[in-house]
A and B are shown apart, each in its own frame.
Chain A
Amino acid sequence: MWSQLRTLWEVLKHTFSRIETVEYPDEMPYLAPRYRGRIVLTRDPDGDERCVACNLCSVVCPADCIALQKTTREDGRLFPEFFRINFSRCVMCGMCEEACPTYAIQLTPDFEMAEFNRANLVYEKEHLLIDGVGKYPEYSFWHVAGKAIEGKDKGEAINEAPPLDVRELLP
Chain B
Amino acid sequence: MARIEVDGIVFEAREGENLLQACLSQHLDLPYFCWHPSLGSVGACRQCAVIQYDDEEDERGRLVMACMTPVQEGARFSVDAPGAAGFRASVIEWLMENHPHDCPVCEEGGECHLQDMTVMSGHTTRRFHGRKKTWRNQDLGPFIGHEMNRCITCYRCTRFYHDYAGGKDLQAFGSRSRMYFGRTADGVLESEFAGNLVEVCPTGVFTDKPFSQSYSRKWDLGSAPSICPGCAVGCNISPGERFGRLKRIHNRYHGEVNGYFLCDRGRFGSHFVNAENRLRRCGVRVGDEEFQEIEGLEALAVLTDLAGGGNVVGIGSPRASIEDNFALMQLVGEDQFCAGFSSDEAVLNELIVDIYRSGAGRVPTPLEIENSDAVLVLGEDVLNSAPRLALSLRQSVRNESLRLAEGARIPLWQDAGVRGHAQGALSELFSLTVLPTGLDDIAAHVEHLPPEQIARHGHAIAQAVAGVGAEESASGRIAAALKSAKRPLIVSGTGCGDGEVMRAAAAVSSALRHAGSDPALLLTALEVNSLGATLLGGGLGLDEALKRLKNGAADNVIVLENDLYRRADPSLVDAALEASRRNGRVLVADLIETRTTANATHLIPVAAYAETLGTFVNLEGRAQRFYQVFEPRAPVTSAWQWLGEAGRAAGRNDMRWQHFDTVVETCASRPGLEALREVAPGADYRGAGGLRIPRETHRASGRTARNAHIDVHERKTPVDTESPFSFSMEGAQGGAVGSARSAVWAPGWNSNQSVFKFQDEVGGALIGGSSGIRLFEPAHGVPAPSYAMSQTSDEGEGFRLIPLHRIFGSDELSAMSPPVVERGGAAEVVLNRADAGRLGAREGDGIRCDLLSASAALRVDDAMAVGHAGLVVGETFGWLPRGRVVLSRDPDFRSSQELIARE
What is the interface of chain A, defined by CB distance below 8 A to chain B? Answer: 52-56, 58-59, 61, 63-72, 78, 84-86, 88-89, 101-102, 118-119, 121-122, 124, 141, 144-148, 154-155, 157, 159-169, 171
**A102-B131 in contact (CB<8A):** no
- Interface 0/1 of B170-184, CB less than 8 Å to A: 000111101010000
Q: When A86-B705, A101-B104, A121-B712 are in contact, do A59 and B132 touch as well, CB less than 8 Å? A: no
Q: Name the one of B104, B173, B705, B712 contacting A66, with C-beta atoms under 8 angstroms.
A: B705
With known contacts A54-B105, A145-B100, A166-B135, A84–B173 Cβ distance under 8 A: no
Whether the pair B708, A86 counts as a contact (CB closer than 8 A) is yes
One of B216-224, B310-318, B429-437 at the interface: B216-224
In-complex Cβ contact of B180 among A69, A148, A161, A166 (8 A): A166
B216 touching A101, Cβ below 8 Å? no
CA distance A154 to B110 in the complex (A): 24
Cα separation A68 to B525 with both chains bound (whole Å): 43
**A67-B702, A88-B712, A159-B131 known; A72+B212 contact, CB < 8 A:** yes
Top 10 closest pairs, chain A to chain B, by CB: A146-B100, A67-B702, A54-B104, A67-B705, A64-B703, A58-B701, A146-B149, A67-B706, A166-B180, A86-B708
Tell whether, in the assembled complex, residue A166 and residue B174 are in contact, meaning their CB atoms are under 8 Å apart.
yes
Would you call B704 and A59 a contact (CB within 8 A)?
no
- How near does chain A come to B346, taking the closest CB pair, in angstroms? 45
Give chain B residues whose Cβ lies under 8 Å from the Cβ of A66: 701-702, 705
- Flag if A122 contacts B135 (CB, 8 Å): no
Q: Is B709 an interface residue (CB 8 A)?
A: yes
CB contact under 8 A between A64 and B173, given known A70-B215, A101-B103: no
Contacts of B704 in A (CB 8 A): 63-65, 86, 89
Q: How far is it, in angstroms, between the C-alpha of A122 and the C-alpha of B216 when the chains are bound?
A: 21
Alpha-carbon distance A159/B104, docked complex (angstroms): 18
**Cα of A110 to Cα of B233 in the assembled complex, Å:** 59
Contact B135 A154 (CB under 8 A): yes
Nearest A residue to B147 via CB reads A147
In the assembled complex, the CB of B49 is this many whole angstroms from the nearest CB of chain A, namely 28
Which residues of B are interface residues toward A (Cβ below 8 A)?
100-106, 109-110, 129-137, 147, 149-150, 173-176, 178, 180, 212-217, 219-220, 242-243, 699, 701-706, 708-709, 711-713
Q: How far is the CA of A122 from the CA of B702 in the complex (A)?
A: 13
Q: Is the CB of B709 within 8 A of A122?
A: yes
Q: Which residues of A contact B702 (CB under 8 A)?
A: 58, 61, 64-68
A124 x B709 contact (CB < 8 A): yes
Q: How many A-B residue pairs have CB under 8 A?
A: 143
B703 / chain A contacts, CB cutoff of 8 Å: 64
CA distance A163 to B612 in the complex (A): 49
Which of chain B's residues have a CB closer than 8 A to the CB of A119?
708, 711-712
Residue of B101, B137, B175, B176 ringed by the most chain A CB atoms within 10 A = B101
Residues of A within 8 A of B147 (CB): 146-147
Q: Contacts of A144 on B, CB cut-off 8 Å?
A: 101
Contact A154 B149 (CB under 8 A): yes
Question: A64 touches which one: B216, B705, B712 (CB < 8 A)?
Answer: B705
CA gap between A108 and B110 in the complex, in Å: 29
Question: Are A59 and B217 interface neighbours, CB within 8 A?
Answer: yes
Residues A122 and B103 in contact in the complex (CB < 8 Å), given A67-B705, A163-B134: no
Docked complex Cα distance between A55 and B102 (Å):
14
A145 touches B134 (CB 8 A): no
* A84 with B701: CB separation less than 8 A: no
Is A155 within 8 A of B705, CB to CB? no
Q: Contact check: which of A55, A69, A169 meets B214 at CB < 8 Å?
A: A69
The CA of A36 and the CA of B100, in the complex, are separated in Å by: 32
Contacts of B705 in A (CB 8 A): 64-67, 84-86, 89, 122
Is the Cβ of B709 less than 8 Å from the Cβ of A84? yes
Quick check: B131 and A145 within 8 Å, CB to CB? Answer: no
Q: Smallest Cβ distance from B900 to chain A, in angstroms?
A: 21
Give min CB distance, B573 to chain A, whole Å: 42
A selection of 27 A-B contacts at a CB cut-off of 8 Å is: A53-B215, A58-B702, A59-B219, A64-B703, A64-B704, A65-B704, A65-B705, A66-B705, A67-B708, A69-B243, A84-B705, A85-B705, A86-B708, A86-B712, A102-B104, A122-B708, A144-B101, A145-B102, A147-B149, A154-B137, A159-B131, A163-B136, A165-B178, A166-B174, A168-B174, A169-B175, A171-B175
Give the contacting residue for B134; candidates A70, A78, A161, A171; CB below 8 A: A161
- Which residues from chain A contact B136 at a C-beta distance below 8 Å? 154, 163
Q: Is the CB of A161 within 8 A of B132?
A: yes
Residues of A contacting B130 in the complex (Cβ-Cβ under 8 angstroms): 159
A53 to B213: give the CA distance in the assembly, Å: 12
Q: A12 CB to closest chain B CB, in angstroms?
A: 50
Between A88, A122, A148, A159, the greatest number of chain B beta carbons within 10 A of the residue's beta carbon is seen for A122
> Would A59 and B135 count as touching, CB distance under 8 A?
no
What residues of chain B lie closer than 8 Å to A70, measured between beta carbons?
Answer: 214-216
Q: Determine which of B101, B110, B213 lies in contact with A146 in the assembled complex, contact meaning CB atoms within 8 Å.
A: B101
Residues of B close to A122: CB separation below 8 A: 705, 708-709, 712
Task: Please report the C-alpha to C-alpha distance between residue A131 and residue B794 in the assembled complex, in whole angstroms.
Answer: 78
How far apart are A110's CB and chain B's nearest CB, in angstroms?
A: 20
CB distance from B110 to the nearest CB of A (A): 8
Kindly state the separation between the CA atoms of A70 and B137 in the bound complex, as whole angstroms: 22
A103 to B104, CA, bound (A): 12
B871 to chain A, nearest CB (A): 39
Distance in Å: Cβ of B38 to nearest Cβ of chain A: 28
- How far apart are the CA atoms of A169 and B132 in the complex, in Å? 20
Please indicate the chain A residues that have their CB under 8 angstroms from the CB of B135 in the complex: 154, 163-164, 166
Bound Cα distance A61, B706 (Å):
13
Q: Give A66 to B150 CA distance when docked, in angstroms.
A: 29
Q: Among B110, B133, B212, which residue has its beta carbon within 8 angstroms of that of A164?
A: B133
Cα A166 to Cα B709 with chains together (Å): 50
Min CB distance B104 to A, Å, is: 4
Please report the C-alpha to C-alpha distance between residue A124 and residue B708 in the assembled complex, in whole angstroms. Answer: 10
B104 contacts which of A52, A63, A68 (Cβ < 8 Å)?
A52
A-side contacts of B100, CB under 8 Å: 145-147, 157
Chain B residue nearest to A124 (CB atoms) is B709
Q: In the complex, what distance in Å separates the CA atom of A158 from the CA atom of B102?
A: 13
Contact between B213 and A72, CB atoms less than 8 A apart: yes
Taking CB atoms, residues of chain A closer than 8 Å to B104 are 52, 54, 56, 101-102, 141, 145
In angstroms, Cα B104 to Cα A171, docked, is 35
Q: Do the beta carbons of B708 and A84 come within 8 Å of each other?
A: yes
Q: Which of B101, B150, B220, B709 contacts A55 (CB 8 A)?
A: B220
CB distance from A133 to the nearest CB of B (A): 18
Contacts of A157 in B (CB 8 A): 100
Q: Which of B134, B175, B215 touches A162 (beta carbons < 8 Å)? A: B134
Q: A53-B215, A101-B104 are in contact. List 4 more A-B contacts (CB 8 A).
A: A66-B701, A148-B137, A157-B100, A166-B135
CB closest chain-B residue, reference A61 = B701
Chain A neighbourhood of B709, CB < 8 A: 84, 122, 124
Q: How far is the CA of A86 from the CA of B109 in the complex (A)?
A: 25
Residue numbers in B under 8 Å from A118 (CB-CB): 712-713
Q: Judging by beta carbons under 8 Å apart, are B178 and A55 in contact?
A: no
Judging by beta carbons under 8 Å apart, are A168 and B701 in contact?
no
Which B residue sits closest to A100, measured CB to CB? Answer: B104
Bound-complex Cα distance A164 to B177 (A)? 9
A148: nearest chain-B partner, CB-CB: B137
**Minimum C-beta distance from A91 to chain B (A):** 11
Report the separation of the CA atoms of residues A79 and B147 in the bound assembly, to the nearest whole angstrom: 18
User: A162 to B104, alpha carbons, bound, how many Å?
Assistant: 22
In the complex, what residue of chain A is closest to B136 when comparing beta carbons?
A163
Alpha-carbon distance A148/B135, docked complex (angstroms) = 10
A48 to B2: give the CA distance in the assembly, Å.
Answer: 62
- In the bound assembly, the distance between CA atoms of A52 and B136 in angstroms comes to 22
The answer to whether A146 and B134 touch across the interface, beta carbons within 8 angstroms, is yes
Residues of A contacting B103 with CB < 8 Å?
A: 54, 101
Which of A59, A63, A71, A121 gathers the greatest number of chain B CB atoms within 10 Å?
A: A59
Query: Which residues of the other chain, A, contact B137 by a CB distance below 8 angstroms?
Result: 148, 154
In the complex, chain B residues whose CB is within 8 Å of the CB of A78: 105
- Is there contact, CB below 8 Å, between B102 and A67? no
Q: Are B701 and A171 in contact (CB under 8 A)?
A: no
B102/A147 in contact, CB under 8 A: yes
